[in-house]
Structure 1
Amino acid sequence: MEQDARIFVAGHRGLVGGAIARCLRRNGFTNIVTRTSAELDLRRQAPVEDFFAAERPDYVFLAAAKVGGIHANAAYPADFIRDNLQIQTNVIDAAWRSGTRKLLFLGSSCIYPKFAPQPIREDALLTGPLEPTNESYALAKIAGIRMCQAYRRQYGFDAVSAMPTNLYGPGDNFHPENSHVIPALMRRFHEARLSQAPSVTIWGTGSPLREFLHVDDMAEACLFLMQNYSDYEHVNVGCGEDLSILELARLMARVTGYAGEILTDPEKPDGTPRKLMDNAKLAAMGWRPRIPLEEGLAGTYAWFCDHAAEIRG
């Protein structure tokens, strides 16, 4: 991408979109276009078409999405499938119609079958049943991948898709009920330390294995793919290492300074037993992550402490 190319970051106030905007500025890109959800509701077709007709961005990073953890996905399945289908359909189509040169669509590792062989390769898509707790979100993201592929095949539109593993970092959602595992645990251990609670109970058995990637690494990968990849298949973005939720909780206790007991609640759902991405395709192109997990968690916790007064819920 040219340094002065017009670049639209959809979802710039979210975890990934914010990191992409920071990454672009850090790398010298000067013409970044953003809109808040109040300024532009991406779920509404007409305003999206008007925006693209007026702004005509050269490149689009589609990071806008309705996201949440196990509780949110299970409680609001209609919201997750409707909102995400509307957002990605409107943006992808309007980008193509307005002459956008390239679009990067961001999916999620939950697109893969619940019991996919590990580590999960890109060709595992649609080879088995999905994890029921986030099926609506996963189906929307699968549709986004297929839409990018269809527009490439039929119209020659340069739309590519990246599938990140579990992400975390500054700017995450720390809501006590609707957040993902790292921000949820970070907030709970932080509050337990402040209140000197004798124990913290985590959902499930603690045995599921998860892979985590710092959002700044993800942003660098997105820029790398936008500049170096143009093909039909989606690309996994991960770090190639995982750990159990119980191990993560112990690490979180160390990072936050919590010294109490960690308990499990087997009555709560575990979700997918293991979810490790095969990162070989991206690694073969020459990209690898740089931020170790404990270092990334420490930086995220410092950000959380600095912004604790602003975090509501």
Structure 2
Amino acid sequence: MTRSSSETPLLTVDRLTKRYGSDVRAVDAVSFTLQRGETLGLVGESGCGKSTTGRCIIGLERLTAGTVAFEGHDVGSARRAELKLIRRNLQYVFQDPYSSLNPLMTIQATLEEPLLLAGVRRRERRDRVAELMQLVGLAPEHANRFPHEFSGGQRQRIGIARALALNPKLIILDEPVSALDVSIQAQVINLLEDLQDRLGLAYLFVAHDLSVVSHTCDRVAVMYLGRIVEIGTRDEIFDHPTHPYTQALLSAIPIHDPDKRGQRRRIVLSGDLPNAANPPSGCRFRTRCWKASEICAATEPILEPKASGQQAACHFAPSKAD
């Protein structure tokens, strides 16, 4: 896949924080950038805050603190006309293809809805729906059917078509294949990659399956208990993980080559994910980390450059200075 860069990132997330009530920080001071045409994977265990991050960026959840900027424009302070343009360029594909489509609306009506809200005329809407159906590998004549007449994989294609309706620059993919059969997952992933190459899309790919992320993402951000603990290119993260949590996640990826299975040690984490309302002092991962010492309880590590090139928040990860 071809990637381009720009002085101004397509998306800039700066210290994004989301609290529920006064105590629970589902997302805590998360920062990253996303370039045009790039795919950034946001990975971690269930409950780590990755989906909440995506929902905050798109506006489905209101930020408690921090900023989200699209093409250099602060989304939170954007005027109405500017915000309307941003929303056209920033779209979302939901995890569950069964609950994300209105069962009482035909696919024609579902795909026309964003076009109608954008003021597109009726004849152009119908032509665009036919184009979208073909774009995601579905027959245009099936647009008059209802969601229950399609399989899970076909419904997810419809969800992708809906996100493409207004020609966005960035799509947030919230676990887009986790609800699908393994045999269908590869088809949807291939479709997403093809669309990215053809349309120049950028993706924020929220996932817990690292084997999927390894095939789709240019960079990877690893989240734990609301914080990013490591971020870098795909090769940096998968070939030279420096944070113990990242190492544990990667050790769980199945290896199909029997000659290579004995070359990797499986890391089984002890204990459960701590309560987000009462996270551990210092490093949040220390209660499950085999490297933890007194400094981990006393001082929270910052996300900083490490020897392998990526950034990691760990006192024991080798730094560039080392």
Q: Which TM class, normalised by the smaller chain length?
A: under 0.3
Normalization by structure 2: what TM-score?
0.27
Normalization by structure 1: what TM-score?
0.28
Larger radius of gyration: 2
More helix by share: 1
More strand by share: 2
